[in-house]
Amino acid sequence: MLSQSTIDIVKSTAPLIAEAGPSLTAHFYDRMFKHHPELKDVFNITHQETGSQREALFNAVYGYASNIDNIEVLLPVVEKIAQKHTSFSITAEQYQIVGTHLLATIDELMSPGQAVLDAWAEAYGLLANIFINREEEIYQQTEQQVGGWRGTREFKVIEKTPESNVITSFVLEPVDGQPVINYQPGQYIGVYLNSDKLEFQEIRQYSLSDAPNGQTYRISVKREDQGVASNYLHSHVNVGDSVQLAPPAGDFFLTTQSNTPIALISAGVGLTPMLSILESIKSTHQAPIHWLHAADNTERHGFKDRIADLAQTTAHLNQYSWYKESSSNEADFSGLMDLSQIQDDINWQETDFYLCGPVVFMQHVAKQLIALKVAEAQIHYECFGPHKVL
């Protein structure tokens, strides 16, 4: 436990962290990469360039400082980050590197004095140990299950299928021919890409897009305009090629009982974890399932035919689609997703809602759900990339 003096010092310096803003984490990352360039093979450099990772770290540091006397409120965030870290194969030694450069950054930007640095060192040490211990638990739990492993494992592509003009699916089979660990529908898998066509090793988390089968994994990847990894997968990874995978992870997955209605709400490639959930429960869920999806147009609507087939064969599945660019009858509705258009079709207070898509889309939907008097505890969501609070 932290001493009261440490708690007081860290809380008192939280306003200094807020004043520094993301410039603090920008300085931290620049400093750390200068001393440890090998970590560019771990961190998503694109997120560094856009600033999203720096903003996420700043929010985490400030949130920790503000709640240093009530760490329990941070545990859900700790779990989310710990799950993500295991897909990066983060080690205890890397926490030491981060701590060294975080303290050096605080010293160089703020010159707060040794007492403040000592307090932050103690506070960081406590938080690092929480992460290290939780991540070790996840590593051990995963490798001890049937088909589980620690670190990375070689898989080969056995199918590559276009799902829209921007989304392609890859079915991956382990090279060793052994079973693979099952996963919770909604979770993701870490994909490690190494090639002379890439400046650094690229590690990405892609949602698993099918029901678990114990033998293979499927990911469905959107080609992003500036996406280093997604463009490499689309253009250079073909049937017969190999990639390294970390085991499935993630804290976003179906938790709803089969007698409770659910709504799976997505936009764009955000449908991938929703599809995994739907494929896993289509024959067992007893209550209504509502599939709500938004796409730019029919060409970008991934798995359109598959969802239509499921809607025909699954009596309690209701599907609704919105096309942003459609003015015809290609989709059920045109424009942005407007829940008032189906207000009478869903029991809003009795349904659990699962959201995935661009943050601005999820904020748009969450605002409507709250207006419909849906309790926040009924709303679950997944962000692709650094986590943001809706």
One digit per residue, the tens of pLDDT, for the chain of length 390 reads 789 999 999 999 888 888 888 888 889 999 999 999 999 999 876 666 656 777 777 778 888 888 888 888 888 888 999 999 999 999 999 999 999 999 999 999 999 999 999 999 999 999 999 999 999 999 999 999 999 999 999 999 999 999 999 999 999 999 999 999 999 999 999 999 999 999 999 999 999 999 999 999 999 999 999 899 999 999 999 999 999 999 999 999 999 999 999 999 999 999 999 999 999 999 999 999 999 999 999 999 999 999 999 999 998 999 999 999 865 578 899 999 999 999 999 999 999 999 999 999 999 999 999 999 999 999 999 887 555 555
Q: How many other CB atoms are there within 10 angstroms of residue 196's CB atom? A: 5
Determine the Cα–Cα distance for residues 173 and 189; give it in Å rounded to an integer.
13
359 within 8 A of 331, measured Cβ to Cβ: no
Question: Residue 282 and residue 294: Cα distance in Å, rounded?
Answer: 21
Record the tokens describing residue 340, joined without a space: 């008032």
Going by their DSSP bridges, the two strands 379-382 and 352-356 should be labelled as parallel
Final residue of a domain: which of 249, 270, 290? 249
- Are 320 and 291 in contact by the 8 Å Cβ rule? The answer is yes
> What does pTM read for this prediction?
0.92
Q: What pLDDT was estimated at residue 73?
A: 82
238: helix, strand or coil:
coil
CA within 13 Å, CB half, 254 = 27
Give the pLDDT score at 389.
Answer: 54
288 is in an annotated binding site: no
Asked if residue 189 and residue 302 are part of one domain, the reply reads no
Tell me which of 249, 277, 295 is where a domain ends. Answer: 249
Binding residue per annotation — 261? no
Is residue 204 part of an annotated ligand binding site?
yes
Marked catalytic residue, from 29, 64, 124, 135: 135
Domain of residue 204, CATH code: 2.40.30.10
Q: Is 85 annotated in some ligand binding site?
A: yes
User: Both tokens of residue 167?
Assistant: 């989304």
DSSP code of residue 173: E
- Is 387 a member of any domain? no
- Asked, for residue 281, whether it belongs to a domain, the answer is yes
Question: Which of 29, 62, 95, 192 is an active site residue?
Answer: 95
Same domain, 33 and 160: no
254 in a domain, yes or no?
no
Does 174 lie in the same domain as 277? no
375 in the same domain as 269: yes
390 domain-assigned: no
Which domain covers residue 192, as residue numbers? 153-249
227 with 160, same domain? yes
Clarify whether residues 136 and 9 are in a common domain. yes
User: For the sheet containing 262-267, what is the strand order?
Assistant: 333-334, 317-323, 289-295, 262-267, 352-356, 379-382
Establish whether 135 is a catalytic residue.
yes
How is residue 174 written in tokens?
A: 């382990």
Using alpha carbons, select from 134, 104, 130, 119 the residue that is nearest to residue 65.
Answer: 119
64 assigned binding-site residue: no
Residue 268 marked ligand-binding: yes
> Which structure tokens are listed for 106?
């605080």
Query: Which of 195, 216, 249 delimits the end of a domain?
Result: 249
| pLDDT score, position 47 | 60
Classify residue 223: in a domain, yes or no: yes
State both tokens at 198.
């890439």
Phi/psi at 211 (5° precision): -70, 150
The CATH number of the domain where 347 resides is what?
Answer: 3.40.50.80
Residues 293 and 344 in one domain: yes
**99 and 122 inside one domain:** yes
Do 157 and 33 belong together in one domain? Answer: no
Tell me whether residue 354 is in a domain: yes
Q: Is 207 annotated as a binding residue?
A: yes
Q: Are residues 225 and 272 in the same domain?
A: no
CA 294 to chain centre: 19
- How large is the angle between the packed helices 4-20 and 114-144, nearest 10 degrees? 90
The secondary element (H helix, E strand) that includes residue 189 is strand 188-193
Whether residue 255 is contained in a domain is answered as no
- The answer to whether the CB of 229 falls within 8 A of the CB of 200 is no
Q: Are residues 12 and 140 in the same domain?
A: yes
Total count of domains within the chain: 3
Whether residues 160 and 245 fall in one domain? yes
Q: Which residue type, as a one-letter code, is found at position 258?
A: S
Residues 6+ apart with CB under 8 A from 234: 168, 221, 223
Q: 316 labelled as ligand-binding?
A: no
Give me the amino acid identity at 351: T
124 is annotated as an active-site residue: no
Residue 31 marked in a binding site: no
